[in-house]
A and B are shown apart, each in its own frame.
Chain A
Amino acid sequence: MIIGLYTVLSHGNLVKKLIGLNLFQASVFLLYISFGKVVGGTAPIIEKGFEVYSNPLPHVLILTAIVVGVATTALGLALAVRIFNAYGTLEEDEAIAAEESDGAAAS
């Protein structure tokens, strides 16, 4: 979780930021799944001979959160592509510098 968050904050490259974000989200997914684990339980599929099951609810929830995460990544990458087309760079500081020199030229 911390590594992911650190990556988001420390890297200027937009794609690296997205990867960090992904790492952060994935670790939260794992956190959820760990809540659902019951010691000695099997996967929550009804089957003869098994009495103890893991809690299925966190799995269901996190499936939704994973979809959200995928959508976020897709949108982020799409934005990164458009930023690359508009600025010719994927480094955040270079894009901001380009923006500022633009602003200075306009005013």
Chain B
Amino acid sequence: MTAHLPALQVLLPLLCAPMCVLVRHRLVAWLFFLLATVSALACAVLLAVRVSGGRELHYAMGGWEPPVGIEYVIDAANVPVLILVSGIGFVVGIYAKRSIEAEIDRHRIPLVYACACLTFTGLLGVTATGDAFNAFVFFEIASLSSYALIAMGRRRRALLAAFRYLIIGTIGATFLLIGIGLAYAVTGTLNMADLAARLPDVYGNRALTAAVAFTFVGLCVKMAVFPLHAWLPDAYAEAPSALSTFFAATSTKVAIYAFMRFAYTVFGVTLVFRMLPVDTIGMVIGSAGMVIGAAVACFQKDLKYLLAWSSVGQIGYIVVGFSLHSVGGLTAAYLHLVNHGVTKAALFAVAGMLLLRLGSVRLSALAGLGRRMPWTFAAIVLAGLGLVGVPPTAGFVSKWALVVALVTDGKWVLVAVVLVSSLLALVYVGRIVEVCWFREAPATGPVESPPASMVAATWLLVLASLYLGIDPARLDSLAEGAARALLGGAS
């Protein structure tokens, strides 16, 4: 049984998806979604234990040996991502029950859970697979179901957001497909380890350069790196609350993981960073994203749009982190990937509760929130400080790691950019606090407190982000192990 863990990790959520459709019952479908996330979380933790100490697990899908068959590889580099995705999935599972009941038509609810299971499967699949083409297929499973989920949003604007995401996302995925195809054409293999072994023979080949370019541009679309982020704000802001919580924490993060996987272990440091200027490009667009994303967030009038734009900014930190191609930079990237995922999920969860109780998350509607919903306000402040990077929150740990890595590398300009962007984050978080605390509340009756399950899930996320800030040692060792696994595979 335990030998099949890498496959079960992906297969159990996949099996839950058709069950949700077949039973057509809201409660049972929710239980299936919860089952999918709990089992995935259990698998991820067991796998983490088994790969600790630098081991790698290889699983030949269906008994077909690689490089012909599809191989699943679990190592230190993808375990943190698996835990993040399934952990967030579990918390969102708790949160989703009441949130989805409130926002979506009754008869559609089982279908929502089915799509959520599929998204979840896709994200786990991208992370676990060791086969380039298989990664593309899982990306599309995740993307297609998330287009459908975004279209479920309450306003009709969600439809336009989903359509735009569909067009941009499909172009990105097709670029990825071209890239993988070209890499296959020059090497004759799709297995990631095998690709890495055969690529040095064809260095300098024009098709290989094109393969790298297409793959990375495709992945950048999925990651929503700054100039290719156009789909993200609408998509995150218009999706149903529970799902925007899930997407914000996981979907771009998985794409970032895939980028690191392709850059370090498939194409390799020599090709990507020495022969092609991917690191320079990464630093330029990463720092542009940091500043512009945060600056645009300052001008948003709607809390969910503000948070979505802040995501564009925060992705910039991760991009800069892994563009350093040093252990420090990659560790910082991993730390921020997890820390920002948890923090942003907490904030979107709060936004969902506000949407449920106040009917709107426009900043003007939040006036006086500090007195009307003090606990919810406390959650916003704690998670918001995490976005700014104030100690002792999770955001501080990863920003500190990033700044140390930048200083070690002598990149002082980038240190300044990180500081500017953090100040901008202070501005937009400050705006939320200002509106919630200092403005007079409109003269309406007291607000009903949000459902206990949603409160519990939100505080779980907030406390997790605090815990990661106060006791970062465990995550730090996971992140450093991941960084070493990526760099070790490349040299």
Whether a CB of chain A sits under 8 angstroms from the CB of B474 is: no
Closest residue of B by beta carbon distance from A80? B163
Contact of A79 among B159, B177, B185 (CB under 8 A): B159
Q: A54 to nearest B CB, angstroms?
A: 14
Whether a CB of chain A sits under 8 angstroms from the CB of B464 is: no
Contact of B181 among A5, A31, A75 (CB under 8 A): A31
- In the complex the two chains form, is B157's CB within 8 Å of A99's CB? yes
CA distance A72 to B140 in the complex (A): 9
Q: B66 to nearest A CB, angstroms?
A: 14
Whether a CB of chain A sits under 8 angstroms from the CB of B167 is: yes
Contact of B174 among A28, A57, A76, A92 (CB under 8 A): A28
Whether a CB of chain A sits under 8 angstroms from the CB of B334 is: no
- In the complex the two chains form, is A79's CB within 8 Å of B147's CB? yes
Contact of B144 among A25, A61, A75, A92 (CB under 8 A): A75
Collect the chain A residues with CB atoms within 8 Å of residue B230's CB.
Answer: none
A35 touching B181 in the complex, CB below 8 Å, given contacts A71-B144, A86-B156: yes
Q: Mark B131-163, 1 if CB is under 8 A from A, else 0.
A: 001001100100010011001000011011011
Collect the chain A residues with CB atoms within 8 Å of residue B177's CB.
Answer: 28, 32, 65
Q: Mark A2-43, 1 if CB is under 8 A from B, else 0.
A: 000100100000100100010011001001100100000000
How many interface residues does chain B have, given as a range? 20 to 34
- In the complex the two chains form, is B171's CB within 8 Å of A14's CB? no
Collect the chain B residues with CB atoms within 8 Å of residue A79's CB.
Answer: 147, 151, 159, 162-163, 166
Whether a CB of chain A sits under 8 angstroms from the CB of B170 is: yes
Closest residue of A by beta carbon distance from B362? A107
Q: A90 to nearest B CB, angstroms?
A: 10
CA distance A95 to B147 in the complex (A): 18
Contact of B137 among A32, A58, A68, A82 (CB under 8 A): A68
A24 touching B156 in the complex, CB below 8 Å, given contacts A68-B140, A75-B166: no
Contact of B167 among A17, A28, A57, A65 (CB under 8 A): A17
Q: Mark A40-73, 1 if CB is under 8 A from B, else 0.
A: 0000000000000000011001001100100110
CA distance A71 to B137 in the complex (A): 12
- In the complex the two chains form, is A96's CB within 8 Å of B160's CB? yes
- In the complex the two chains form, is B185's CB within 8 Å of A35's CB? yes
CA distance A28 to B140 in the complex (A): 15
Whether a CB of chain A sits under 8 angstroms from the CB of B178 is: yes
The interface residues of chain B, by DSSP majority, are classed as helix
Collect the chain A residues with CB atoms within 8 Å of residue B147's CB.
Answer: 75, 79
Collect the chain A residues with CB atoms within 8 Å of residue B273's CB.
Answer: none
CA distance A8 to B167 in the complex (A): 8
Whether a CB of chain A sits under 8 angstroms from the CB of B184 is: yes
A75 touching B148 in the complex, CB below 8 Å, given contacts A86-B159, A96-B160: yes
Q: B453 to nearest A CB, angstroms?
A: 30
Q: A72 to nearest B CB, angstroms?
A: 5
- In the complex the two chains form, is B171's CB within 8 Å of A21's CB? yes
CA distance A22 to B160 in the complex (A): 19
Collect the chain A residues with CB atoms within 8 Å of residue B144's CB.
Answer: 68, 71-72, 75
Collect the chain A residues with CB atoms within 8 Å of residue B136's CB.
Answer: 65
A21 touching B133 in the complex, CB below 8 Å, given contacts A28-B177, A75-B148: no
Collect the chain A residues with CB atoms within 8 Å of residue B133's CB.
Answer: 61, 64
Closest residue of B by beta carbon distance from A60? B133
Closest residue of B by beta carbon distance from A98? B156
Q: List 19 other contacts, CB 8 Å, given A68-B137, A82-B151, A86-B159.
A: A21-B171, A25-B170, A25-B174, A28-B177, A28-B178, A31-B178, A35-B184, A35-B185, A58-B181, A64-B133, A71-B144, A76-B163, A82-B159, A83-B159, A83-B163, A92-B160, A95-B160, A99-B157, A99-B160
Which A positions have Cβ atoms within 8 angstroms of B?
5, 8, 14, 17, 21, 24-25, 28, 31-32, 35, 57-58, 61, 64-65, 68, 71-72, 75-76, 79-80, 82-83, 86-87, 92, 95-96, 99
Going nearest first, the 4 A-B pairs with the smallest beta carbon separation are A86-B156, A68-B140, A35-B185, A79-B163
Q: Please, could you name 30 A-B residue pairs with CB atoms under 8 Å apart, sorted by A?
A: A5-B171, A14-B163, A17-B167, A21-B167, A21-B170, A24-B171, A24-B174, A25-B170, A28-B174, A28-B178, A32-B177, A32-B181, A35-B181, A35-B185, A61-B190, A65-B136, A68-B137, A68-B173, A71-B140, A72-B144, A72-B170, A75-B166, A79-B162, A79-B163, A79-B166, A82-B159, A83-B160, A86-B156, A86-B159, A92-B160
